[in-house]
Structure 1
Amino acid sequence: MTKLSDQHYIAEIIGGNSNAFAILVDRYKDLIFSLALKMVKNREEAEEVAQDTFIKVFNSLDKFKGDSKFSTWIYKVAYNTCLDRIKKNKKDEGNINIDDFSEHLVKTMENALSQMMEDERKKSIQDCLNLLPSEEGFLLTLFYFDDQSLEEIAKIMNITANNVKVKLYRSRQKLASILKEKLEPEIINYYERER
């Protein structure tokens, strides 16, 4: 059985078959929820943001022109919905200061991470990603986990592709510093046990 394209279901919905929207929701619900969770950092709020995103998408589906992928468009709606929620809540997110970052830290952490089990590594990285400010966690998730291109991310976040590169670089620096701080004790313990 072949998987029909998003565009097929969009045409169905615009044509009056609102039940076809359930298929699009099913395709994107997990991604939208995980992106919302990265930004709002609260499960209940992320569920509300995801729900609001799908309501907005449904109500403005006829405005989707198809000049980008549907996934890019829905991510942009989710991103803007998250920003609105964050502004509404006016919560102060504890930004992490990065004072002592070097390229060597990234290399060291990459080598150390390769020693960990795959599931453990993914969980550790997710936990560290959650410590980043919302926008940075969202950006890294789009690029590394959802395989969005720089151009697609630029459209989602309404910035230039060059600005995406700069933000990715800075976000990776912060993540490397967090990984070093959080994982180094685990790694030291691991090597001491192996001796």
Structure 2
Amino acid sequence: MMQRADHYYIRRTLKGDTNAFSELITRYRDLVFTVIFRVVKSREEAEEVAQDTFLKAFESLSSFRGEAKFSTWLYSIAYRKALDQVRKNNRIKSVELVEDITEKQVQKIENALDLIEQQQRREVINKCIAALADQDAAIVTFYYFEELSVREIAAITGLTEDNIKVKLHRSRKKLFTLLKQFVLPEMTNSNGRAI
């Protein structure tokens, strides 16, 4: 069965068919939750913010112009709601540890990751992403998990494309540093520095 385009459900919703909006929720709830969770770092808060996101999207649907994809518009709402929640909680988390990684170390990390079961690998990666700054975690999620373009991420976050590229580059370095600490703890000292 061919899946209908988002615009079909948007038009139906705007004509008063609230059940049509539930199809959009079903399509996007997992990624909306993931993006929010990466920023707020709390399952309960992410669930609340996701509900707020869909409520805001429903209430604002008439303002959706279709200039960008519906998903981009929706993720933009989710991202901003998540940042609002973080500001509300006045939490700031960041990993400032960035170091150059040699090709040999990258190979060791990749070999070690290959030995970890798929579920454990997912848990390690999620823990490392959770340790990134809120905005960086969201950008990594958009780029690597949703496979959005740099331009789409810029539209969602309100940052410039160049800023997104810089943040992705720095986030990759931070992730390698964090992954190295998880999979090769014997190679790092208590300060997280390579031995």
Taking only the aligned residue pairs, the percentage that are identical comes to 42
Report deviation, 1:126.
1.4
User: TM-score, normalised on structure 1?
Assistant: 0.88
User: TM-score, normalised on structure 2?
Assistant: 0.88
Per-residue deviation, residues 8-54 of structure 1 (Å, max 9, x unmatched):
00010111111211111111111111111110011111011101100
Report deviation, 1:107.
4.6
**Change beyond 3 A, Cα 1:66–1:103:** farther
Aligned to 2:100: 101
- Please say if 1:139 is aligned against 2:139: yes
Per-residue deviation, residues 111-132 of structure 1 (Å, max 9, x unmatched):
4324433333222211211111
More deviation in 175-184 or 127-136? Answer: 127-136
Gaps of 5+ in 1: 188-195
**Change beyond 3 A, Cα 1:63–1:159:** same
Aligned to 1:152: 152
More deviation in 112-121 or 17-26? Answer: 112-121
Gaps of 5+ in 2: 188-195
Supply the AA of the counterpart residue of 1:101: D
Give the alignment's Cα RMSD to 1 decimal.
Answer: 1.8
Q: How many aligned positions are there?
A: 186
**Change beyond 3 A, Cα 1:115–1:28:** same
Tell me, yes or no, if the aligned pair for 2:57 and 2:74 is still in contact at 8 Å: yes
- Please say if 1:42 is aligned against 2:46: no
Supply the AA of the counterpart residue of 1:102: I
Per-residue deviation, residues 51-80 of structure 1 (Å, max 9, x unmatched):
110011001001111111111110000000
Per-residue deviation, residues 123-152 of structure 1 (Å, max 9, x unmatched):
221121111121111111111111111111
Distance (whole Å) between structure 1 residues aligned to residue 77 and residue 53 of structure 2: 6
Supply the AA of the counterpart residue of 1:149: S
SS in 2 for 1:60: helix
Question: Aligned runs of 1:2-13 on 2, under 5 Å?
Answer: 2-13=2-13
Question: Aligned runs of 1:1-195 on 2, under 5 Å?
Answer: 1-93=1-93, 95-104=94-103, 105-185=105-185
